[in-house]
């Protein structure tokens, strides 16, 4: 199987001014393409060659895990965003957020805090366990909650290449601004 980088469902400039066209070009167009190219080269003629990407993430380690997980993480991230989205979740996801974090505002505060507290590069995730309980986790480097048996619902990228062109070292500001792009319909569709 050869993995192909999906086209974004919006133009590179559509997330401005929160994420610049230049950042989307380098972040998705260059970084993500490299992860996919590396993944395809690493699985060729191996037992991983015909596996689904999620299965590769769960069963691999080292460079293969890094490229597989980064390829998946970036697609998951960019396809959770939508120009003109934002707002708040509703339905069962909103009930679970209120139950597990106290309020939507407290959830956002805790999520950004987890992302800004992560030393170095990685991802901050909202995930659910098999019972629907929600968790915020900060994963270093290519970390992914799939490896812990959780279902990822939302992620923000805290690698510097995700925000540095637009925000320099202001990670908290970059993460806080992302709330205006979160497509809660997509996120909610991932919650059972």
11: left (phi over 0), alpha (psi -120 to 50) or beta: beta
As a CATH number, domain 21-78 is 1.10.287.990
Residues 116-136, mean pLDDT to the nearest whole number: 97
How far are the Cα atoms of 31, 128, 156 from residue 95, in angstroms, in the given order?
36, 13, 21
Whether the CB-CB separation of 190 and 163 falls below 8 Å is answered with no
pLDDT, residue 135, reads: 97
**DSSP β-bridge partners for residue 140:** 122
Q: pLDDT tens digit string along 148-187?
A: 999 999 999 999 999 998 999 999 999 999 999 999 999 9
pLDDT band at 1 (very low <50, low <70, confident <90, very high): confident
Whether the CB-CB separation of 141 and 156 falls below 8 Å is answered with no
pLDDT, residue 38, reads: 98
Rounded to 5°, angle at Cα 59 from 53 and 61 = 100
pLDDT band at 192 (very low <50, low <70, confident <90, very high): confident
Residue 18 pLDDT greater than 90, yes or no: yes
Write down the domain spans for the chain: 21-78, 91-189
CATH topology of domain 91-189: minor pseudopilin epsh fold (3.55.40)
Distance CA 172, CA 110 (A): 12
Residues 13-36, mean pLDDT to the nearest whole number: 96
pTM strictly above 0.85: yes
pLDDT, residue 165, reads: 87
| The pair of three-digit structure tokens given for residue 7, joined into one six-digit string | 């086209």
Residue 27 pLDDT greater than 90, yes or no: yes
Asked, colleague to colleague, whether 21-78 and 91-189 share their fold, the answer is no
State percent of the chain over pLDDT 70. Answer: 100
Distance CA 38, CA 83 (A): 30
Q: How many residues does the chain have?
A: 192
């Amino acid at each position: 199987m050869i993995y192909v980088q999906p086209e974004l469902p919006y133009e590179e400039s559509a997330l401005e001014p929160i994420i610049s066209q230049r950042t989307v070009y380098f972040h998705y167009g260059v970084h993500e393409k490299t992860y996919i190219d590396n993944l395809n080269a690493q699985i060729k003629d191996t037992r991983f060659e015909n596996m689904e990407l999620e299965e590769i993430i769960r069963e691999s380690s080292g460079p293969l895990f890094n490229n597989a997980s980064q390829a998946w993480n970036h697609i998951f991230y960019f396809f959770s965003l939508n120009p003109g989205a934002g707002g708040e979740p509703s339905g069962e996801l909103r009930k679970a957020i209120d139950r597990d974090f106290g309020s939507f505002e407290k959830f956002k505060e805790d999520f950004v805090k987890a992302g800004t507290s992560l030393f170095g590069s990685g991802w901050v995730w909202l995930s659910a366990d098999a019972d629907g309980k929600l968790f915020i986790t900060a994963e270093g480097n290519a970390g992914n909650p799939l490896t812990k048996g959780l279902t990822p619902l939302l992620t923000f990228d805290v690698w510097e290449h995700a925000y540095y062109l637009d925000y320099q070292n202001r990670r908290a500001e970059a993460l806080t601004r992302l709330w205006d792009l979160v497509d809660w319909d997509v996120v909610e569709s991932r919650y059972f």
